[in-house]
Chain A
């Protein structure tokens, strides 16, 4: 089902959490709400499922305006961050609860519950109380409870935050599988960019109550429209060089070094400050646009190795390379930047679109 949030506003007393936010989801799409803690992700989610009343704006499920419909009648499935299973009911009763409330008959309930339990692979745990389930099992029960009454929309509030690394990896693909299998429209709230990128069709990055960019994971990574987005996506994170635009290129701050970005158009006029974002995979020994610095940190990540290179002006660039480069801490190196991959931002953090001269 199509979901549309128009000019959503939310205040708590004097505190305005969300000023004016619009968002729409295609039917069957899974969207990630990604952003730092306190940016209003949960608030948005709670408004969509009706737990919080919207201060302003409109919410449409399909063609139906549900802005004022109480959450009981919205038919939204929610998986809460702490799962919020009912501790006095066993797994079966937990999952059956929404159906029981709807007074469906026993046979139907049994059939639906066992179907959904099979889907999330917890058929054999039905008798257990939540306290007797592992974190991952609890999570599956919560998911089953959210899905069992075939909701119009599924909302997941940081569903993986409480799981260990391995389980998180497993559940990521599980949730995606189930979402695709059921074809349900879903919103995933997370502050983990890897989760957002690997599970969702599109990502909405939020900052301080605003959606700063909304696009597909790939596009978001390659074409961030702001310094905030660029720094939010990518692991290891992007590194920035501050500088000033000159005739010959970019003069790095408090340094003699000049990056000769000659082949680029779209640079602002001379004398303007500029920030250059360089992702670790684009700072490699073989690239032509060399900068010199000293290796100040080495982190082995198994297949790859992460280097921090401190330039003479104190800026740090990161580089990720295959194992076996033979570089050591303290080595003086002169590695190159992939010129056409540089992301440039102005002083306010907005993206400057540059391109190679034809």
Chain B
């Protein structure tokens, strides 16, 4: 490597490190998480082995039956020396222990009740029922609801149950009993198979298309109309239209809520014309979409307006004069002179906003929160809810990451498409004979 290259690399290094730390790493981590089944239940560190009633249920669904299920799910208590030693260590009186040994040693009870009853019959039993119940646990031999920290412990416990499982069944049992996270591609299968995924996809498409159309169209409209205003008025209107962008989102959405609530401005106004009050934000899917598109659209339009305005103002004055003496009226001037020269800013805004709209959901979260039903639940919000904000309380990080990954991939494909469209190379090297 030449010295200058090293030099350049040296200058690049801080930016490179920052990019890797704050951009690349999260994406890679998301990719990694998307191939796990991490959730609140599994935790993000390791797990233990546990046969719970839920485990039994899923085993049954998988075709486990008969003896094995019986044994896994039954509670059995065996009075043996090991249990007695444990009782001694737990501080039960020697007389009680001796009595158990003499009357019950070698007995097996299925069910805690039976064993408890047997203990109750002993004359040296502890005074408190609680202590008695605790004592039963010391003799418990089943695996149900017992946490094993290592796989070895779990296996040895299983072997004492004599389950007679096939190797495949044994593996499945171990996997099902594991409470920690595991590597899996099930997230993607699940995404493909769930109808709610398609709903979110369709919603995202609606959201991006309409918001984008509104953004760009309204931004253009504002830029062109303010261009023809005297400069003072133009500045005034631009400032007004820029307000949504500088307003804190929560405040901005609150104002929209106030506007659209069933006791809000619109409903109150309409009630004078005999229209029954509705919460326009959530009344019907169409209403919700109109509000969502407008909320986002006004914010996005302000950016388009600024971009387009400066692009229009960079068109030489004499070119507009030339078109006037060439006979073009205002509309023709816009149509033939201004719009064609806004091609790049329009494309740029479209590209940029497609990407940011795909991943943004904060205004939806604050306004309709995906409702009514899941009418406005776009993909990003869907992923957010699954991964980080779930009603059920079980946050599925792995599945959420997989959904986020899909967005990342769509984003990359869209960027590549737009890059091609922009065709930067040909823009840079357009032949110029003389300037």
A residues whose Cβ falls under 8 Å from a Cβ of B:
46, 49-51, 70-74, 76-78, 80-82, 84-89, 97-98, 101-102, 131-135, 145, 149
Q: Which residue of B lies closest to A78 (CB)?
A: B325
13 inter-chain pairs at a CB distance below 8 angstroms, sorted by A residue, are A51-B325, A71-B325, A81-B318, A82-B318, A86-B323, A86-B340, A88-B341, A88-B343, A97-B336, A101-B336, A131-B435, A132-B430, A133-B434
Q: Which residue of B lies closest to A70 (CB)?
A: B324
Q: How far is the CA of A81 from the CA of B325 in the complex (A)?
A: 15
A101-B327, A145-B326 in contact; A51/B430 too (CB < 8 A)?
no
Q: How far is the CA of A82 from the CA of B325 in the complex (A)?
A: 15
Is B432 positioned at the interface, with any CB of A under 8 Å from its CB?
Answer: yes
Do A84 and B319 have beta carbons less than 8 Å apart?
A: yes
Q: Which residue of A lies closest to B329 (CB)?
A: A72
B residues whose Cβ falls under 8 Å from a Cβ of A:
316, 318-319, 321-329, 332, 336-337, 340-341, 343, 430-435
A76-B325, A98-B326 in contact; A88/B318 too (CB < 8 A)?
no
Q: How far is the CA of A220 from the CA of B25 in the complex (A)?
A: 79
4 additional contacts (CB under 8 A) given A88-B340, A98-B326: A49-B325, A50-B324, A72-B328, A97-B336
A98-B327, A102-B327, A145-B326 in contact; A84/B432 too (CB < 8 A)?
no
Q: Which residue of A lies closest to B341 (CB)?
A: A88
Do B340 and A80 have beta carbons less than 8 Å apart?
A: no
Do A80 and B327 have beta carbons less than 8 Å apart?
A: no
Do B319 and A86 have beta carbons less than 8 Å apart?
A: yes
Do A97 and B326 have beta carbons less than 8 Å apart?
A: yes
Chain A nearest CB from B19 CB (Å) reads: 35
With a cutoff of 8 Å between Cβ atoms, the chain A residues found around residue B343 in the complex are 88
With a cutoff of 8 Å between Cβ atoms, the chain A residues found around residue B319 in the complex are 84-86
With a cutoff of 8 Å between Cβ atoms, the chain B residues found around residue A80 in the complex are 318, 321-322
With a cutoff of 8 Å between Cβ atoms, the chain A residues found around residue B433 in the complex are 132-134
Query: Which of these, B316, B318, B324, contacts A72 with CB under 8 Å?
Result: B324
A80-B318, A82-B316, A135-B434 in contact; A50/B327 too (CB < 8 A)?
no
Q: How far is the CA of A133 from the CA of B431 in the complex (A)?
A: 10
Q: How far is the CA of A76 from the CA of B324 in the complex (A)?
A: 10
A131-B432, A134-B434 in contact; A78/B322 too (CB < 8 A)?
yes
Q: How far is the CA of A4 from the CA of B327 in the complex (A)?
A: 22
Q: How far is the CA of A70 from the CA of B430 in the complex (A)?
A: 38
Q: Which residue of B lies closest to A74 (CB)?
A: B325
**Residue from the set B322, B340, B341, B433 with the largest chain A CB neighbour count within 10 Å:** B322
Do B432 and A101 have beta carbons less than 8 Å apart?
A: no
Q: Which residue of A lies closest to B317 (CB)?
A: A84
Chain A nearest CB from B170 CB (Å) reads: 72
Query: Which of these, B325, B341, B434, contacts A87 with CB under 8 Å?
Result: B341
With a cutoff of 8 Å between Cβ atoms, the chain A residues found around residue B326 in the complex are 97-98, 101, 145
With a cutoff of 8 Å between Cβ atoms, the chain A residues found around residue B340 in the complex are 86, 88-89
Do B430 and A131 have beta carbons less than 8 Å apart?
A: yes
Q: Which residue of B lies closest to A51 (CB)?
A: B321
Chain B nearest CB from A23 CB (Å) reads: 19
Do B316 and A84 have beta carbons less than 8 Å apart?
A: yes
With a cutoff of 8 Å between Cβ atoms, the chain B residues found around residue A72 in the complex are 324-325, 327-329
With a cutoff of 8 Å between Cβ atoms, the chain B residues found around residue A131 in the complex are 430, 432, 435
With a cutoff of 8 Å between Cβ atoms, the chain B residues found around residue A50 in the complex are 324-325
With a cutoff of 8 Å between Cβ atoms, the chain A residues found around residue B431 in the complex are 132
Q: How far is the CA of A77 from the CA of B327 in the complex (A)?
A: 10
A72-B324, A88-B340, A145-B326 in contact; A132/B318 too (CB < 8 A)?
no
With a cutoff of 8 Å between Cβ atoms, the chain A residues found around residue B432 in the complex are 131-132
**Residue from the set B316, B324, B341 with the largest chain A CB neighbour count within 10 Å:** B324
With a cutoff of 8 Å between Cβ atoms, the chain A residues found around residue B332 in the complex are 101
Chain B nearest CB from A271 CB (Å) reads: 54
With a cutoff of 8 Å between Cβ atoms, the chain B residues found around residue A77 in the complex are 325
Do A86 and B337 have beta carbons less than 8 Å apart?
A: yes
With a cutoff of 8 Å between Cβ atoms, the chain B residues found around residue A134 in the complex are 433-434
Chain A nearest CB from B53 CB (Å) reads: 72
Chain A nearest CB from B330 CB (Å) reads: 10
With a cutoff of 8 Å between Cβ atoms, the chain B residues found around residue A71 in the complex are 324-325
With a cutoff of 8 Å between Cβ atoms, the chain A residues found around residue B435 in the complex are 131
Do B316 and A51 have beta carbons less than 8 Å apart?
A: no
Chain A nearest CB from B150 CB (Å) reads: 72
Do A84 and B322 have beta carbons less than 8 Å apart?
A: yes
Q: How far is the CA of A74 from the CA of B324 in the complex (A)?
A: 10
Q: How far is the CA of A74 from the CA of B325 in the complex (A)?
A: 8
Q: How far is the CA of A145 from the CA of B435 in the complex (A)?
A: 20
With a cutoff of 8 Å between Cβ atoms, the chain B residues found around residue A74 in the complex are 325
Do A84 and B321 have beta carbons less than 8 Å apart?
A: yes
Q: How far is the CA of A119 from the CA of B434 in the complex (A)?
A: 23
Chain A nearest CB from B44 CB (Å) reads: 55
Chain B nearest CB from A30 CB (Å) reads: 19
Chain A nearest CB from B421 CB (Å) reads: 17
Q: Which residue of A lies closest to B434 (CB)?
A: A134
With a cutoff of 8 Å between Cβ atoms, the chain A residues found around residue B325 in the complex are 49-51, 71-72, 74, 76-78
Q: How far is the CA of A264 from the CA of B116 in the complex (A)?
A: 149
Query: Which of these, B316, B318, B328, B341, contacts A101 with CB under 8 Å?
Result: B328
With a cutoff of 8 Å between Cβ atoms, the chain B residues found around residue A98 in the complex are 326-327
Q: Which residue of A lies closest to B328 (CB)?
A: A101
Q: Which residue of A lies closest to B343 (CB)?
A: A88
With a cutoff of 8 Å between Cβ atoms, the chain A residues found around residue B430 in the complex are 131-132
With a cutoff of 8 Å between Cβ atoms, the chain B residues found around residue A46 in the complex are 321
Chain A nearest CB from B371 CB (Å) reads: 46
With a cutoff of 8 Å between Cβ atoms, the chain A residues found around residue B322 in the complex are 78, 80, 84, 86, 145
With a cutoff of 8 Å between Cβ atoms, the chain B residues found around residue A84 in the complex are 316, 318-319, 321-322
With a cutoff of 8 Å between Cβ atoms, the chain A residues found around residue B337 in the complex are 86
Q: How far is the CA of A149 from the CA of B326 in the complex (A)?
A: 9
Q: How far is the CA of A73 from the CA of B327 in the complex (A)?
A: 7
Q: How far is the CA of A62 from the CA of B432 in the complex (A)?
A: 43
Q: How far is the CA of A80 from the CA of B316 in the complex (A)?
A: 11
With a cutoff of 8 Å between Cβ atoms, the chain A residues found around residue B323 in the complex are 86, 97
**Residue from the set B328, B341, B431, B435 with the largest chain A CB neighbour count within 10 Å:** B328
Q: How far is the CA of A46 from the CA of B431 in the complex (A)?
A: 34
With a cutoff of 8 Å between Cβ atoms, the chain A residues found around residue B324 in the complex are 50-51, 70-72
Q: How far is the CA of A167 from the CA of B72 in the complex (A)?
A: 100
Chain B nearest CB from A3 CB (Å) reads: 15
**Residue from the set A77, A78, A81 with the largest chain B CB neighbour count within 10 Å:** A78
With a cutoff of 8 Å between Cβ atoms, the chain B residues found around residue A82 in the complex are 316, 318
Q: How far is the CA of A89 from the CA of B340 in the complex (A)?
A: 9
